[in-house]
Amino acid sequence: MFVALFIIGAPKIVFYALGYSYKIGSEKGIVQTGLIYLSSTPPGATVYIGGRRYREPTPAIIRDLLPGNYPIRLVLKDHETWSKSVPIEAAKASVLGKILLNPKKPEWRKRVLDRFEDLIVVPDTRYLLLRKSDQLDAVQIYDWKQGKASSLFVGGAEKESQFSSVSVASGSPHVLFKVESKKKKRWIWIDLDKGEKSKITWGDEIPFQSDKLVWSEKDSRYLFTYYQGSVSRFDVEKKTLVPMGEPVQGFGVNEKKLLLLTNDNQFKKTDFFDKNSKVMIKNANLLKALASENDPFEVKRVASDIVFYLSGAGTLLMHQGKTLISEKDILGFHFDKKHRKAVLWRADAIGIIQFLKDEEGDVLRPSAKVEWILKGARQLRHVYWAHDGAYLIFQDQNKIFLLELETFGSPSVHELLETKSDSQIFYSDDSGELFYLDKKTGNLMSLEVIPKWKVLEVPFSILQEKEKEGKVAA
Amino acid sequence: MNPFRFTRQGLTKNEARLERFFEVLPGLTSWSVLIGLMILILVQPIIAALIIIVFDFYWLLRLFYLTLFLTIAYLRLSLEEDTDWLSRIHQIDALKKNEAVAVNGPRGWKERISNLFFKKEIKSLSASSSLPVLSNEIYHLVIVPAFKETREILEPGVASYANGSFPSKQMLIVFAVEERAGEDVKRAAEDIRLKYKDAFFDFLVVIHPDGIKDEARVKGANATYAAKTARKLLEERRIPVENVIVSCFDADTVVSQNYFSCLTYSYMVCPDRERASFQPIPVYHNNIWEVPGFARILEMGASFFQLTEATHPDRLVTFSSHSMSFKALVDVNYWPVDMVSDDSAIFWKALIHYEGDYRAIPMYVTVSMDVVDAGGWWQTCVNVYKQKRRWAWGVENFPIVMRGFLQSNKISIFERVRHSFKLFEGHVAWATWPFILGIMGWLPGIFAGQDFSDSVLFYTAPRISSVIFNLASLSLITTIILSLCLLPKTKIKHSFWRRVIHALEWLVIPLVAIFFSAMPALDAQTRLMFGKYMEFWVTDKRR
């Protein structure tokens, strides 16, 4: 009996697993079906496919769907209805695993009530700098993780000082202000973790000049300046400036290494004292492309095998193994390490590039091309990855939009709000909050874009338990 | 009779080559299954997922099958709990004397059903014209090999033989003590002998000398030496070997009160009694409440496996403490003296010697032994692992049995294939199934590439697995209930929550199965594959 059960049962289970189903009616017979996986944030939305309402809320797996296009709607109280047309293929799963349901009444909060002109993002840290004016004592720091704001300079020593520029580095809590008056120039180096007491200043007595400036989050003692084709190392504590020697076309830091694009066609990695250097690439294509640019390149190693080079003129070169992709007029980029994809933007368009692992692809494979997913923007200012790479938040002029990527057609755009003109925005996918300056009051505001506390991390096995098998509500 | 020598010693070149081939086969197969499936998971996850689904389903059916027979076996065990075996023995004696057999009128439903089995067996015995000698002419030879067991371990067993329902004056007890054993062990054996000798027909303490030619330091060598010594005594007393049932018990074995009565009955009622082993249900109850939960679960599992096997007499192989016709033991030249797994090896040796005309008869009576207990938790883990590896070393039988089968012309091909497949599949399943079920089954989803994660299978496979495991939990619940019924009543009354914890201990089965079942089995097979032969290792037991 058990043998008979196995002989009959095993093939049935295998066919079921592969999506085969016995249909009645016009499609009578055994057909291979597909399924849709729907997961929303917040969860619990009612699923409609065509005119049918499914009993179980999201996250849901709807099985036994014949190949074709299905209009899907998700309805959740107090949220805008989400709808899409989703294609179903035999034996395939159409996955919409990160659907964001936007609340009808967005949950924005006032964070700091002062009127600010701009906010300056210190990337990959918990700090925002809030600028009321160009006066140093009018600068506040805002710790968005703790929700606390405080004045950066409180001692009165910088009461009349005005800064002309501020430099930040990814992951580093240090900020460099350039203070200029009619008489002289001054630089103020400050650690935001420690506040004003960590301030180090230097002035015109040191020939500190830079067209570009970088430092490492791992070692903030040294600043590296690029000026007239050469890189110098500036020791902040000793206040000494040491030229690094050979002329370069571009440079950057990666942890405790300096990355240099030398004029003799080499891309090398060296320590901060240029004593232990290693030639990483001697790539004719790369160097040929770089040679055409007059601006210095900022070099960023975004993954162990991927390096980005961005020139001041907007030329972005992305280099992975034998693959080299070049784009012009790029204003900025963000790399998503988890999904190995980058978003880059021009003034009028947003593009995405997906990198595969080295062993997965070959030279110039189709996947390593920029896909321009949004065109016709007026003046893009900043773009952030959101909801684990499923969405983008971007600022076009003064408006902030949410762009849904996980679709089976054109990405859909949803306007979130309007911000103070010419001010930056900041979004953290850790907290799901967007920080911006209010259009009218200039107050620092936040908007909960991804309701993190509501995100249900459902283990896959449990998820399966919630699978819906075409259970149609009466 | 097949002159096949059941040993791996003194082989010809061809025999040695064949032996090596069959030694390598189980380990190679187990590793190939695990590594092959792992490669398939990485390279072809869709095919791997389908194979795993089919395997899970097969396992579920096997589990239901085992649970069904476990329940039947448990019912049979509880049915025979109050059977008066001595009375039945006397009724067989009456049959021999041509007196009327009077089956007692049924008192309860259990006895009523038990009587049905009895009537059937008596009918079969009468039809066979192979009536046994009278029960008062039947003697029991009980051999208890000892090496480092203390008096606390040895004495309860002897007391249980003396206090049983079968007349102890028809029992010859032999403590088989290794020469290399400590003086305290020898003294304990002698003290027990002096204390109990008058209760039995006789009581010997036989010291097994070290270094006898062709012997390995294994229990079988010790037991064999003791059996040969006992044979001389029996011959002196003019007791024919045909009238003797030999039981070889682990030193910690405590028999139930009816054990020897049931054994005598089973022996007498079996028409082919001189070509049979008699297998009781081994349980590990002596110290079951004193050991860590995982060890308790593991030994319960071993008992259940044997209980289930008891429902398939045609598949049963002797295991641990068991009994057999002394004549058969003498015919096959005693236990192997160079093998660790003498308990199962003796069955295979007899099966080949008698050209397939040998069987293991299940007895619905228990013998209780100790769960491994080395004192500390970690040390117990190590000892449990080593004990299970020793059990799994039973795979050493496979190459010898295969050679024996290849040399045998009289055992039907069907029987040879059936036995070989069961032995081979049993060992490979032992080493691989827990890994596949507990670990590898989940890997296709974890290592899924884009192609697999976009497929219907990626979503349906976990659901199917989940349904299968949920259904399997029905088996687990049955097992938990049976375990609670089978466990001895605790001396201290446990609270409700303590009972719940005991039941929940079964949830660690996946871990226990991997670390204390599959891993030792794979270890043993790998050792055999590389020719690293094991010697007997005595597990720590304490009370």
Share above pLDDT 70 across residues of chain B, in percent, rounded to a whole number:
93
B537 inside 8 A of chain A by CB = no
Identify which of A5, A142, A8, A96 has the alpha carbon closest to the alpha carbon of residue A412: A96
Q: How far is A10 from chain B (nearest CA, A)?
A: 6
Mean pLDDT of A379-408: 93
Q: What is the pLDDT of residue A466?
A: 46
* pLDDT tens column, B497-525: 777 777 777 778 888 888 888 999 999 99
User: Would you call A18 and B456 a contact, using CB atoms and an 8 Å cutoff?
Assistant: yes
Facing residue for B456 by CB, picked from A19, A461, A465: A19
Q: Is A155 exposed, middle or buried (0-12, 13-18, 19+ CB in 10 A)?
A: exposed
pLDDT of B528 strictly over 60 = yes
Q: Could you read off the pLDDT of A82-95 as tens digits, one per residue?
A: 999 999 999 999 99
Chain A nearest CA to B102, separation (Å): 39
Cross-chain residue pair A35–B445, CB shorter than 8 Å: no
Q: In chain B, which residues have their Cβ closer than 8 Å to the Cβ of A361?
A: none
The Cα B241–Cα B330 span in angstroms is 8
Q: What residues of chain A lie within 8 A of the CB of B54, using their CB?
A: 10, 13-14
Counting every residue, how long is chain A? 474
pLDDT tens sequence across B141-185? 999 999 988 899 999 999 999 999 999 999 999 999 999 999 999
B491 touches chain A (CB under 8 A): no
Helix residue ranges, H only, B354-455: 377-392, 397-407, 413-438, 443-446, 450-453
The pLDDT value recorded for residue A380 is 95
Structure token digits, residue A73: 């709607």
Neighbours of B425 (CB within 10 A): 12
pLDDT at B542: 57
A vs B, Cβ pairs < 8 A, gives 76
Considering only CB atoms, A464 lies closest to which of B50, B65, B463, namely B463
Question: In a mutagenesis test of the B interface, which of A3, A5, A36, A462 is the best target, namely the one with the most B β-carbons within 10 Å?
Answer: A5
Closest alpha carbon to A60 in A473, A466, A472:
A466
| pLDDT above 90 (res B232) | yes
One DSSP character per residue, B258-326 reads: THHHHHHHHHHH-TTGGGEEEEEEEE--TTTTTS-HHHHHHHHHHHHHHHHHTT-TTT----SSEEEEH
Is residue A362's pLDDT more than 50? no
pTM over 0.80: no
**Does position A467 have pLDDT exceeding 50, yes or no?**
no
Q: Measure CB to CB from residue B461 to each of A17, A33, A465 and give the nearest one.
A: A17
Greatest CA separation for chain B: 81
What share of chain A has pLDDT > 90, as a percent?
Answer: 52
Determine the distance in angstroms separating the CA of A85 from the nearest CA of chain B, rounded to an integer: 18
Tell me which chain B residues have a C-beta less than 8 angstroms from the C-beta of A91. Answer: 455-457
Rounded to whole angstroms, the Cα distance separating B15 from B531 reads 15
Q: Is A336 on the interface with B (CB under 8 A)?
A: no
Residue B50 near chain A (CB below 8 Å)? yes
Which has the higher per-residue pLDDT, A399 or B96? A399
Dist. CA B196–CA B506, nearest whole Å: 41
- How many angstroms separate the CA atoms of A208 and A215, rounded? 14
Q: Which residue of chain B is at minimal alpha-carbon distance from A94?
A: B454
**Beta-carbon separation of B456 and A34 below 8 A:** yes
Tens of pLDDT along B487-499? 766 555 666 777 7
- CB-CB neighbors (< 8 A) of B461 in chain A: 17
Query: Residue written as tokens 């008056």?
Result: A181
Q: How confident is residue A274, by pLDDT bands cut at 50, 70 and 90? A: confident
Given a cut of 70, whether residue A458 has pLDDT beyond it is no
CA-nearest of A63, A61, A464 to B463 is A464
In this predicted structure, what is the pLDDT of residue B312? 67
Interface check B43 vs A, CB under 8 A? no
Distances from the Cα of B211 to the Cαs of B208, B215, B407, in angstroms? 9, 7, 31
Give residue-wise pLDDT tens across range B417-476: 999 999 999 999 999 999 999 898 888 888 877 778 889 999 999 889 989 999 988 988
Chain B interface includes A91 (CB < 8 A): yes
- Tens-digit pLDDT profile for residues A64-84: 899 999 999 999 999 999 999
Does B290 score more than 80 pLDDT?
no
Q: What is the mean pLDDT of residues A283-309?
A: 75
Give me chain A's average pLDDT, please. 86
Residue B57 in contact with partner chain A when CB distance is under 8 A:
yes
Judge contact between A456 and A43, C-beta under 8 A: yes
Best residue in A92, A96, A458 for a mutation probing chain B (most B CBs within 10 Å): A92
Instruction: Measure in Å the smallest separation between the Cα of B223 and chain A Cα atoms.
Output: 41
Identify which of A2, A6, A37 has the shortest CB distance to residue B459. Answer: A37
Distance from CA of B312 to the nearest CA of A (A): 15
Q: Which residues of A touch B466 (CB under 8 A)?
A: 461, 464-465
Q: How far is CA B225 from CA A340, B116, B415, in A?
A: 72, 42, 32
Query: Percent of chain A at pLDDT above 70?
Result: 90
Residues 52-81 of A with CB under 8 A from B: 61, 63
